[in-house]
Amino acid sequence: MFTADALIDTVQTGKKTVVNTFVTNETVKDAMIKFIDAQADYTKKAIKATTDTFTVLTAEAVKAAQDAMKFDYTKFGEGVMKAYTAQSSKAK
C-alpha cells in the first residue's frame, strides 16, 4: 500500500546518498544531512496534518449530506403552502 512516509523516506534517502557520495567535507556533510532530516520531519508532519484535516472535512461533509437526506421536503412544502394559503386568505 502507498504511504506518503515511504515516499518521503525514499526521496530523503536518495538525497543523503548523493551527499554522502559527493561531499567530502565532514562538517558540511553533517550540516546537509541534518537539514535533510529536518526536511523529512517537517514534510511528514505537514502531510499528516493535511490528511487529518481532509479526514475531518470529509466526515463532516458526509454527515451533512446524510442529514440533508433525512430532511422531509414534502412536509416542508406542505408547511410553506399552508403559510402561503393563510397569508393569502388574510389579504382578501
**36 Rama sector, left if φ>0, alpha if ψ -120 to 50, beta otherwise:** alpha
Average pLDDT on 82-89 reads 81
Instruction: Break the chain down into helix, strand, coil percent, rounded to 5.
Output: 90, 0, 10
pLDDT value of residue 69: 85
**pLDDT per position as a tens digit, 21-70:** 999 999 999 999 999 999 999 999 999 999 999 999 999 999 999 988 88
pLDDT value of residue 22: 97
Provide the terminal-to-terminal Cα distance of the chain, rounded to the nearest Å. Answer: 71
Question: What is the Cα–Cα distance from 15 to 19, expressed in whole angstroms?
Answer: 6
pLDDT value of residue 7: 94
pLDDT over 70 at 2, yes or no: no
pLDDT value of residue 47: 95
Average pLDDT on 7-30 reads 96
pTM value? 0.68
